Amino acid sequence: MEYTLDKATAISKVSDEVFTLTSDETYWNFTSAFGGWLSAGTLKALQSRADFRGEVTSLNFTFISAVTAKTITLYINLLQRRRTMDFWRVTARDDESDGKVLFAADIISGMRRESELTYNADMPACKPLEESTRLEPNPIAPRWIKLFDLYLGEGVPFTKNETGRSILHIREADGRPFDAQAIVAFVDTPMPRTFFLEEGLRLASTLSMSTHIYATEADIAEVGTDYLRLVADCATVSHSLYNQECRLFRQDGLLLATSYQTAFFK
């Protein structure tokens, strides 16, 4: 079976360092592409390189312009190869029109090593899945919302909550097995923190997003098609900017990944 995310991130190889990604409006927010889809497509292109090795540990995206181009050209450069770590830079351009840079990403991949020292933050409690609120497609929801099974276990949107925290139960709606590409898409699914800090609708746009994957591919594969718990919080809102901090947990409490965003709002 070919899953929705895999079809939507189909890439074409132009050369060893250049790939193209065709825009799929299924994964748009309203009038431009969803950052989680862009991250997944970028990761897929990087992993398609013949010289890619190891597992991705860190992805740092800077979103420069809203992405509406039909075809995105990804230029992937290996900045440096160390003994166990590789440092990459990806630049995305709209080469079919003005050639402007749409976004850029610095990505680290490498070979993971075992350590005797381990620590795992506790997974916050929330309403169980059966008592949580299912998030359904609606006129003010992004187009991609129907592609995920999303249940809100903490937080009431469009209301002034005590904090900016929300907790989601999340999985792919079509049963796609979980992997690193899903991680970078999942961590961008929480609503803007502004939705939980005041009444009414105040939209926001992401400027930067940094995602860090701590689990091994084997840890991630154990998720299968189960629900994950995605905790999103906010530490500050100031000068039309806010931050968003996410933690993605497996059902047994293993922390798989974290993500940090800075976004602006009007």
What pLDDT score was predicted for residue 113? 87
**pLDDT per position as a tens digit, 55-91:** 999 999 999 999 999 999 999 999 999 999 999 999 9
What pLDDT score was predicted for residue 114? 87
- Is residue 183 within 8 Å of residue 248, measured between CB atoms? yes
- Nearest Cα residue to 60 out of 247, 260, 265: 260
What pLDDT score was predicted for residue 262? 97
Q: Give the mean pLDDT per block of 10 residues along the chain (266 residues).
A: 94 97 94 96 97 97 95 98 97 93 98 92 97 94 96 96 97 97 98 93 92 97 97 96 97 98 93
Burial class (CB in 10 A: 0-12, 13-18, 19+), 77: exposed
What pLDDT score was predicted for residue 100? 95
Tell me the pTM: 0.95
Mapped to the 3 state alphabet, what secondary structure does 55-98 carry? EEEEEEEEECCCCCCCEEEEEEEEEEECCCEEEEEEEEECCCCC
What pLDDT score was predicted for residue 171? 98
What pLDDT score was predicted for residue 88? 98
